[in-house]
């Protein structure tokens, strides 16, 4: 049976390619999705993409994913640092989650150094640019092979 992964992007990630390219690069969200889909097809993994600037919509999408998705790749954006509600949604649904950040959050402003999501995630990828999403997808492919 085909494995399914939800790729969830938090606030301001709809501006990728335009917003602070010195930090986030010039790749757009649509280009990232195409790269991920190309890779997912090779491994027979189905991806669903969702981006929202609204915390409640992100939580709703995580809830909807319970029993549907085998994995979650999540870039919570600024919600990383204070959204206990998103953290609780992940913990409550038990969807295996990899937290992804394009920039290295530990080399930025001190308020970005704390993640409330990390304790309920399988792992965190930070600072690898867009490749962090690809690395997370490879992680799930390997996890699915293990059964």
The pair of structure tokens assigned to 118 is 């990390």
- C-alpha to C-alpha distances, 43 to 11, 94, 134, nearest whole angstrom: 29, 23, 13
For the question of residue 24 being annotated catalytic, the response is yes
For residue 47, what is the enclosing H or E element? strand 45-51
Catalytic residue among 9, 24, 69, 133: 24
Catalytic residue among 9, 69, 101, 133: 101
Alpha carbon dihedral 58, 60, 66, 67, in 10-degree steps, equals -120
Residue 45: how many CA atoms within 13 Å on its side-chain side? 29
Burial 35-45 (b: 16+ CB within 10 A, else e): bbeebbeeeeb
For the question of residue 63 being annotated catalytic, the response is no
Q: From CA 103, how far away is CA 123, in angstroms rounded? A: 16
Positions marked active-site: 24, 101
């Amino acid at each position: 049976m085909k494995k399914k992964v939800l790729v969830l992007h938090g606030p301001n990630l709809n501006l990728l390619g335009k917003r602070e390219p010195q930090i986030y690069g010039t790749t757009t969200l649509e280009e990232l999705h195409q790269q991920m889909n190309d890779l997912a097809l090779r491994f027979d993994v189905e991806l669903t993409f969702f981006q929202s600037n609204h915390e409640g919509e992100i939580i709703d999408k995580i809830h909807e994913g319970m029993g549907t998705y085998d994995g979650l790749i999540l870039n919570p954006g600024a919600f990383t640092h204070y959204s206990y509600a998103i953290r609780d949604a992940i913990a409550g649904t038990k969807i295996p989650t990899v937290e992804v950040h394009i920039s290295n959050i530990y080399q930025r402003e001190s308020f970005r150094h704390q993640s409330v999501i990390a304790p309920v995630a399988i792992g965190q990828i930070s600072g690898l640019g867009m490749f962090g999403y690809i690395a997370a997808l490879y992680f799930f492919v390997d996890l699915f092979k293990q059964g």
